[in-house]
Amino acid sequence: MSTNTAALLQELTAVTGTPFSDEKVLNLLTAKLASFGDVQVDAMHNISCTFGSGYHVVLEAHWDEICFVVTGVSDDGYVHFAKSGGIDPRILPGARVVVHGKRDLPGVISTLPPHLQKGEDGKKAAPIDELSIDLGLTTQAAKDLVAAGDCVTFAKHFTPLNGSRVSANCLDDRSGVAAVLLAAEQLKDVPCRVTLLFTAQEEVGTRGAKTALFDRGVDASVSVDVSFAYTPGCKARDCGVMGKGPMIGISPILDRQFSKELLDLAKENQIPYQTEVMAGRTGTNADAISICGSGVRCALVSIPEKYMHTPAEIVDTADVEQTAALLAAFVRMKAGEHRA
């Protein structure tokens, strides 16, 4: 495992970044981008940095993570909540969370022990509106510290696994952010214009990406996200394989020439790669970016990930590094094609 890549992923996944609470992630990304040039944050809280001149390539990943939002505190001191983003309610009972109230408050999502469940109750997932968060506080303390609209996230953790794999929450899409940052380190002297773009609110409808490049004069954009890695129960043909390199997207949404160029570059540079064929929309920011303004030519590169949208997502650091290498190769190729 690359110590530097693992350390970067640990740093990126340690901070909260949601539509309800984004100060920590924006501060961290501002510090990361400052070495490349002036940093801009727009009204949607997309954050970007542009350097160089000439042919304009954008490397994009989203910084936001799935989360919950407090809907109220009950008279017995339990916190009620709703989900923000695609979260499977089956994984929630017993999950460790943090309620970001007047201060960060650790808690656990309540669950009924199997001994007390009746009939078919234990065979189905409880609806989210029947779950609540136990903060271990008195009712008055909970009501003093927590208000409707406060953000809730899964408790942060970072666990190195065997080999080059790591587990954390919000690797979707902080691993994409890491790949863009690692690529940028290889591009500081490239003779073209490069924008590093980290977008907001992908998990609630690609909202940040819809406006991020509206008037940027972009020649090429590559979105970096995660996609499904094979696990038991999946159809192998529908998934990537961890440790086998980035997944290069092929879709009517994506620019066919760019997809082919990425495939060719991977072969030429001996970068392991996989293909991900989609018959329509990609389900990523590439869908929104491709129709931003008068249209943007867009490609998609995805990092294989297990257990997406859970507290224990897994990626392979080698895949992150190979994704960065492919992004850098693409930018260098475009710079060479359009050198003045």
Give me the CATH number covering residue 193: 3.40.630.10
Assess if residue 163 is contained within a domain.
no
pLDDT digit string (tens) for 217-245?
Answer: 899 999 999 999 999 988 888 899 999 99
- How large is the average pLDDT for residues 170-187? 97
Which pLDDT value is given to residue 184?
97
Assess if residue 267 is contained within a domain.
yes
Provide the mean pLDDT of the chain: 93
Instruction: Assess whether 290 and 245 both reside in one domain.
Output: yes
Assess if residue 100 is contained within a domain.
yes
Which pLDDT value is given to residue 199?
97
Task: Identify the domain boundary among 129, 154, 179.
Answer: 154
Active site residue: 60, 65, 202, 276, which one?
A: 202
- How large is the average pLDDT for residues 238-258? 96
Instruction: Assess whether 123 and 202 both reside in one domain.
Output: no
Task: Identify the domain boundary among 128, 154, 180.
Answer: 154
Instruction: Assess whether 318 and 196 both reside in one domain.
Output: yes
Instruction: Assess whether 142 and 37 both reside in one domain.
Output: no
Contact by Cβ (8 Å): 18, 33 = no
Instruction: Assess whether 304 and 176 both reside in one domain.
Output: yes
Which pLDDT value is given to residue 129?
86
Contact by Cβ (8 Å): 56, 190 = no
Instruction: Assess whether 252 and 140 both reside in one domain.
Output: no
Assess if residue 105 is contained within a domain.
yes
Give me the CATH number covering residue 113: 2.40.30.40
Q: What are the tokens at 149? A: 């609209």
Which pLDDT value is given to residue 133?
98
pLDDT digit string (tens) for 271-287?
Answer: 999 999 999 999 999 99
Instruction: Give the integer Cα–Cα distance in Å for 169 and 117.
Output: 30
Which pLDDT value is given to residue 1?
46
Q: What are the tokens at 11? A: 């740093």
- How large is the average pLDDT for residues 300-328? 98
Instruction: Assess whether 307 and 267 both reside in one domain.
Output: yes
Instruction: Assess whether 98 and 184 both reside in one domain.
Output: no
β-pairing verdict for 67-73 and 151-154: antiparallel
Q: Letter for the amino acid at 147?
A: A
Instruction: Assess whether 142 and 182 both reside in one domain.
Output: no
Cβ neighbors of 294 (< 8 A, separation 6 or more) are: none
Assess if residue 104 is contained within a domain.
yes
Assess if residue 164 is contained within a domain.
no
Instruction: Assess whether 284 and 320 both reside in one domain.
Output: yes
Task: Identify the domain boundary among 122, 154, 186.
Answer: 154
Instruction: Assess whether 59 and 87 both reside in one domain.
Output: no
Tally of structural domains, the chain? 2
Question: Does the pLDDT of residue 200 top 90, yes or no?
Answer: yes
Domain hosting 204: range is 3-65+169-337
% pLDDT > 70, the chain: 95
- How large is the average pLDDT for residues 154-167? 96
Contact by Cβ (8 Å): 230, 112 = no
Assess if residue 159 is contained within a domain.
no
Instruction: Assess whether 129 and 261 both reside in one domain.
Output: no
Q: pLDDT category, 121, cuts 50, 70, 90?
A: low
* 305 catalytic per annotation: no
- How large is the average pLDDT for residues 66-79? 96
**Least confident stretch, 95-109, 226-240, 321-335:** 226-240
Question: Does the pLDDT of residue 114 top 70, yes or no?
Answer: no
Instruction: Give the integer Cα–Cα distance in Å for 210 and 207.
Output: 5
pLDDT digit string (tens) for 32-47?
Answer: 999 999 999 999 999 9
